[in-house]
Structure 1
Amino acid sequence: MSTASLVKGTPVPSALPWSGLLALSTAAFTAVVTELLPAGLLPAMAPALGVSEARVGFLVTGYAVASFVAAIPVTALLRGLPRRPVLAGTLLGFALSNAVVALSSSYGVTFAARLVAGVMGGALWAMLAGYAARMVPADRRGRAIAVVLAGITLALSLGVPAGTALAGLTGWRAAFALLAGVAVLLTGWVRWRVPGFPGEERAARVPLTRVALLPGLPVVLSVTLFLLLGHQVMYTYVAPFSAHAGFGRTDVVLLVFGASTVAGIWGTGLLVDRHPRATLLGALAGCAAVMLALGAFAGVPAVLLTAVALWGAAFGGAPTLIQTALVGASGPAASDVATSLQTTVYNAGIAGGSLTGGVVLERLGPGALPWTALPLVALALIAVTLGRRHAFPAARGAGAGADGGAGRRERARTASVTRDLS
């Protein structure tokens, strides 16, 4: 085999193109920090913008709603254009949005800037994994995508806590200004080290409706929605909840959560291929137990931090497990389209969760947040329990022979999907 292959005339090296992949990973990092940073800055941003902490939390809601609304139509509009200019344009959009937030004293202007960032996020997430896959040979695509999506973990474990800590030292505006500068520098990095690819040809585009109704896919999407709703009710308002619990160091709480997500992802990597269903059930049960503990005993600092650590570990592995189930339910032929649907549902969960949490915070106070999150996480747990046949089987690819009966069923599903989409 030669040291390179060609994708529509563009050389694809056999070795991982680390500089380009790390640029994409940094783009993922920037998007996640941009989306979630207001959650750690509610007490500082609220007086500066002249609104309540709950309305600052709606800055996360607005971002997520914009991503939810824009992901499919904007992706459809831009999918025929060359990929690198589209990627660079989304990063410049992030830079503009964060610069406006850093300078604005108007809640309305700030909210509008967050909507722009949300549109950029919807476009970015729809293309990152596919971009990484096109940069490497087929036998290295999984590793390339893992490198890119590691930016999410770093954002949760380091980026958001570091941004919150920076805001405590220099002010919240400096944190958003730094994000704007990073996005500008990242645009140059992308143009320098990320290869260009043509857009999709019209004949190769797969209808979304055919994929959305594949057996098991609606269940996987519903689990995504319920989990994100419950998670975001608490995560968006972790600052006022921590203050309510008598622990005012939001940066410490976020750091514990973020560091624990790394452990969760590592543990999931050891179990996902052998025990995907059991691991996901354990992760969701852990999230439910955390909400129960936070609701009953958060006033004890040791309980608060221990519960947050378990929360991070459980939630950190859940997206990987759900994504694996999504690909299994859709089959490889339709996995990209299924992922775009999941991106939309994911952002709907973030928007709905932050909105619900804001309403609960204003009307019932921070102590009601975990009790609001608990039934939503429980619904996700129930959906996995009931979705054993198509959505969340005990294992995929295990069994007798080279890849087992499950592997043969997966190939049959792929062939069926391919015929349906042709």
Structure 2
Amino acid sequence: MISETATNGTGSVRTGPVSAADAFAPVETTAATPVDSSVPGDRLPLAALLVMALMGFILIATETMPAGLLPQIAAGLSTSEGTAGQLVSAYALGTVIATMPAVALTRGMRRKPVFIVGVLGFLVANIITAFSGEIALSLAARFLAGAFSGLIWGMLAGYARRITAPKYAGRALAIASIGTPIGLAVGTPLGSWLGTAFDWRLSFGTLAVLTLITALLAAALVPDAPGQAAASRVPLVRILHIPGVAVILAVIVAWMLAHNIVYTYISAYLRSGNLRLSVDVALVTFGVAALIGIGFTGAVIDRALRPLVLGSITLFLAAGVVFIIGHESVVAVLVAIVLWGLAFGGAAAQLQTAISMASGENADVANSMLGVAFNVAIFAAGVIGAVVIGNFDGVTLPVVMSGLALTALAVAFVGRRTAFPTKP
């Protein structure tokens, strides 16, 4: 495995552990992604990557499931819809609090055992949620699910790259990330239908069964990989000083906030134009377009990451403009949704690839920061979106979306040297 090499600011090269005195100093890294010697160098470990994608699907479906079942969950737990809605907040809080410490503590361990423990912990949390009769226990289970989700998301990108030959690293991330748009397109609507037609507990029970299947598939199909060597580990705080990492995180917050403000409150936007377009149709259309977007991302990400990121954000911005101008036309709104999905589908793979390249062998911890940034954006979108629709018309949502997208585009554009380099 190739260890990290860092410059000390004077031009000389040093390797090995970083002293406590250097904990807050800037650091530059140049590292190659370690590849386990048991992995063939000329092909993708497709089965293993698809298992990771399945886990991503389950994570996304679990995170968003309560939003479509609030009346049923509230009735089942004898509480209000507002309190039941905190199941989403508890999950996000667990992710924000636990992700970085969990990834930092486990980054030196073999990857497969950590992954399987994370999946099994997530399984326990979903089983508790499915059978709990008390809102306090349900909230605790959702916090636990969020914590294990953060561990899995934090290590997933680095793990996918470690079991893949470097020339396929970007494509591997695109495949491992495909569960996200599928979860949004299929998982959330399917779970809502199951909970509405039968019982909300069945939705979480189904997710628990899928999680168990994923654990078994992971044990059988996913190869192991080494953890990060002690000599190459950078202290947690110093990772923010690695050139490019802070810029990428800023793009993530702005772009994800822009996305989630509209995605979370899409029903309010559709009502603002009196459109005969259901939320289910809108979300499925978005999901299908997102699948196409991630397919395109996988095809070109290893050759043209910077143009891909800038092009995706620009297309996302165009979707926001069409949302504003055509908010009273079903055709225009559908066009905007397609543009939105195409632009956003590959966002996770693009940003994970960028932060993994920038952080080198510290990709696991950097990706845990990415996961925290995502969940901070989700939490903030819920609050900001509620304020917007409480004081303005729903068409204001894409106005905010467009402003944030423009901010993300500007930050990504100026990060041409380290965050989104012109040349890899």
- Normalising by the residue count of structure 2, what TM-score does the alignment of the two structures yield? 0.77
With over 3 angstroms needed to count, the CA separation of the structure-2 counterparts of 1:370 and 1:61, relative to structure 1, is farther
Partner of 1:260: 289
Query: 2: distance between equivalents of 1:149 and 1:52?
Result: 32
Residue 177 of structure 2: SS of its match in structure 1? helix
Structure 1 counterpart of 2:405, one-letter code: V
**Which residue does 1:187 correspond to in 2?**
215
Tell whether the 8 Å contact from 2:245 to 2:359 is kept in structure 1 after alignment: no
Pair 1:47–1:356, CA change in 2 (3 A)? farther
TM value normalised by structure 1: 0.78
Aligned to 1:231: 259
Q: Distance in 2 between matches of 1:144 and 1:302?
A: 35
Q: Of the candidates 146, 164, 180, which is equivalent to residue 152 of structure 1?
A: 180
Matched, 1:322 2:351: yes
> Aligned equivalents of 1:297 and 1:106: distance in 2?
45
* Structure 1 SS opposite 2:39: strand
Provide the residue aligned with 2:423 in structure 1.
396
Task: Give the C-alpha shift of residue 271 in structure 1.
Answer: 5.2
SS of equivalent to 1:206: coil
Matches of 1:280 and 1:272 in 2, distance apart? 9
Q: 1:59 maps to what in 2?
A: 87
Q: Is the 8 A contact 1:211 1:338 kept in 2?
A: yes
The one-letter code of the counterpart of 1:357 is: G
Q: Structure 1, unaligned stretches of length 5 or more?
A: 1-6, 398-422
- Distance in 1 (alpha carbons) for counterparts of 2:150 and 2:190: 24
Would you say 1:215 and 2:243 are equivalent positions?
yes
Tell me the residue number matched to 1:310.
Answer: 339
Give 1:224 deviation, angstroms.
0.7
In the TM superposition, residue 246 of structure 1 has moved relative to its aligned partner by 4.5
Q: Residues of 2 paired with 1:374 and 1:368: CA distance?
A: 10
Partner of 2:39: 12
Count of residues paired in the alignment: 388
Shift of 1:107: 4.4
Gap change, CA 1:236 and 1:45, over 3 Å in 2: farther
* 1:187 shift after superposition: 1.8
Alignment of 1:356-375 (within 5 A): 356-361=384-389, 366=394, 368-375=396-403
Percent of aligned pairs with the same amino acid: 35
Correspondence for 1:169 among 190, 197, 207 = 197
Do 1:232 and 1:353's aligned partners in 2 also have CA atoms closer than 8 Å?
Answer: yes
Residue in structure 2 matched with residue 102 of structure 1 by the alignment: 130
Say if 1:156 and 1:261, in contact at 8 Å, map to a contact too.
no
User: Contact (CA 8 Å) 2:232, 2:361: kept in 1 or not?
Assistant: no
Q: 1:202 and 1:388 mapped to 2: Cα distance?
A: 31
Report the secondary structure of 1:12's partner residue. Answer: coil
Tell me how far apart the structure 1 counterparts of residues 164 and 302 of structure 2 sit (CA, whole Å): 23
Cα gap change, 1:145 to 1:18, in 2 (>3 Å): same
Three-state SS of the structure 2 residue aligned to 1:166 is helix
Q: 1:371 to 1:59 in 2, by over 3 A?
A: farther
Aligned residue number for residue 300 of structure 1: 329
Deviation digits for residues 266-294 of structure 1 (CA, Å, limit 9, x no counterpart): 33445546654444334323333433443
Measured after TM superposition, the shift of residue 261 of structure 1 is 0.6
Answer whether contact 1:284 1:381 (CA < 8 A) is retained.
yes
Moved more, 137-146 or 18-27: 137-146
1:376 to 401, 404, 411: 404
**Per-residue CA shift, 1:168-224, capped at 9, x if unaligned?**
433433222210111122222222333445655544422233332233332221011
Could you say what the CA RMSD is over the residues aligned between the two structures, in angstroms?
A: 3.4
Q: 1:313 to 1:56 in 2, by over 3 A?
A: farther
Letter in 2 for 1:396: K
1:73 aligns with 2:101: yes
With over 3 angstroms needed to count, the CA separation of the structure-2 counterparts of 1:238 and 1:174, relative to structure 1, is: farther
Unmatched runs of 5 consecutive residues or more in structure 2: 1-33
Structure 2 counterpart SS, 1:214: coil
The one-letter code sitting in structure 1 at the alignment partner of 2:337 is V
**Contact 1:61–1:350 (8 Å) recurs in 2:** no
Matches of 1:187 and 1:56 in 2, distance apart?
A: 29
**1:235 Cα shift?**
1.5
1:283 aligned residue: 312
**Structure 1 residues 303, 139: closer, same or farther in 2, change over 3 A?**
closer
Query: More deviation in 177-186 or 84-93?
Result: 84-93
In structure 2, the partner of 1:409 is: none
Structure 2 counterpart of 1:112: 140
Question: Of Structure 1 and Structure 2, which has the larger fraction of its residues in helix?
Answer: 1
Note if contact 1:57-1:354 (Cα within 8 Å) is conserved in structure 2. Answer: no
1:289 and 1:163, CA in 2 relative to 1: closer, same or farther beyond 3 A? same
Cα distance change on mapping 1:10 and 1:323 into 2, 3 Å: closer
